[in-house]
Structure 1
Amino acid sequence: MKLPEFYGFDPQGWIQKANLFFEINGTDPSLRLRLSQLSMTGVAQHWFSIVRQVHESLTWEQFQEELLQRFSGLEIQNPYEQLTSIQQLSSINDYIDDFEYLIGLMPKMPEMQAMGYFMAGLQDEVRRWVRLQRPHSRLDAMYSAKDVEEILCPTTGNIS
């Protein structure tokens, strides 16, 4: 099994895979940074060299924070703020992608809270129909929203 390469895109996804890789392999914490360095490619490789120069005693936790800071972009510095403002502007699939990405940046939250965030960002008509389904989880709400969009707009997948 090999640690996935990191090219500078989707740092949260890479961190999740790296942590799973280290957990499965029982990797000693002292080796995590060295193994991560081997997986850095292109701009990420050059950035890693600079971070090591600036932080001589870099920990894995600090590295993850630095990686997110550098490759996530300014809009994700506070995912809670971003989560409260995302809206379904086009297809439900695009909205779900954005929602799942932001939720993935946060520690586990109560299911009703996560579902509330999801519901709040839906277009009004979709939200009304999803509420009628009485979803019990964010996954139920997501599946219902996809069904509603298909019923309301079967050919385009977009509600105007």
Structure 2
Amino acid sequence: MDPQMKLLFDELKSMTQSMEDLKKSVEDRINGVEHSLCDRFMAMESVAKGLEDWKPRVEASVEYLRVEVAALRKTVNRVVLEQSAPSPSIFPALGATAAISSAGNPVVGSDEHYVDPPHRETACGSVTAYTSLLVKGMYDSHSHKSFAVNVDPSGVRNTFELRSLAQKFMGRLPKMNFPQFDGDSPKLWISRSEDYFEMYSVEPSMWIKVASMHFIAASASWLQSVEKKTKTMSWPQFCRIILDRFGRDQHEVLIRQLFHIKQSGPISEYIEKNF
């Protein structure tokens, strides 16, 4: 064989071997990338599944905390307002305080001498008033007066007891009936129901039960079909299904009325009727 041809043949053989090695290297790298992507995809699927399982529990916990914090905030605000404005049912009138000692007996002594009440109430939760008194029951405007409030911390451990105490000293509101729901204006009914619960400090766990007792007409028939589901619902979920059922109907009625609006009289009558 010609030496030049042999040299050329060897060179081609060497290049062919290099191409085979390069091809094998590229294939190995591609396989490695595929395995890596597959492992990462499986890991992401596992994380996504964990998040889906975790999300409902977190949402339920957040909703529960929101309701409890809102109820506690309302209770604390009422207690603060009641403490800042003295109620006549708690503190006796000055005339009665000057004429009667803390033991309930008339004060006896000489003129122009001050007599301290001989007994002091120290029971848990009691409110005691100490004032400087004249013997004949005359109140001295320059005398020092102090009010001491003794509260046992163990008496306010329960949130419901604190609400009951706040409701007892709430303003003298007249007793009002709970708003009935017949299917019309669901948003207005929900707002008035929440105002009623707030005024009378109704426990959030009782809101759905109380509201369900005041469904009438078409809404009562609808409630029978979903009553079992409502036993496990929260108040926001209960309001949502009400709006989905009755809010949509009201929206459709308004749209039909809008399409049938026409002027058949004076402009003022048209505006008053439709707007």
- When the two structures are superposed, what TM-score results if normalisation uses the length of structure 1? 0.46
More relative contact order, 1 or 2 (CA 8 Å, 6+ apart): 1
Q: Which has the larger radius of gyration?
A: 2
